Amino acid sequence: MHLERVHVSDDAERQLGFSQAVKVGETLWVSGAVSWDENLNPLHVGDMVGQMRQIYGALGELLKRFDRGMDAIVKETVFATDLDLALKNTEVRRDFFPDDKFPASTWVEVKRLAHPDLLLEVEIVAQL
């Protein structure tokens, strides 16, 4: 089976040693997406809703590269530094998953993410 690496931010991927996404057959495996810019500076510091919007928007843009929408996501894993706050704001996701067509999801609270100002990280598996 052919494995294709899909690069989103070459500098970040090189610096941290990962591929943002890997396509195997018709499945896209996406590393945890966070709310930061191309220089690894956190965006929407202290703002869970802002970080959620940034992350799901970026995931949507990535899927557009394959002519797919958010409905292609079959599984997501959400890592939050404050699970209660994340769950309180899950309504934001409805803007990205029309008609409540949510993927299978696992939500986990973690002590910290790659940068202390990051509140949320979302990894997905999408069927292309």
Residue pLDDT, tens place only, 8-40: 666 666 666 677 888 999 999 999 999 998 888
Q: How many CB atoms lie within 10 A of CB 25?
A: 11
For residue range 30-89, list pLDDT tens digits in order. Answer: 999 999 988 889 999 999 999 999 999 999 999 999 999 999 999 999 999 999 999 999
Give residue 75's pLDDT: 98
Give residue 98's pLDDT: 84
Domain residue ranges in the chain: 31-127
In CATH terms, the superfamily for domain 31-127 is: RutC-like (3.30.1330.40)
- The span from the first CA to the last CA of the chain, in angstroms, equals 15
Strands 3-6 and 104-109, bridge-based pairing: unpaired
Q: What's the token pair of residue 70?
A: 């958010």
Residue with tokens 């500098």: 11
Main-chain phi, psi angles of 3, to 5 degrees: -110, 125
Give residue 39's pLDDT: 82
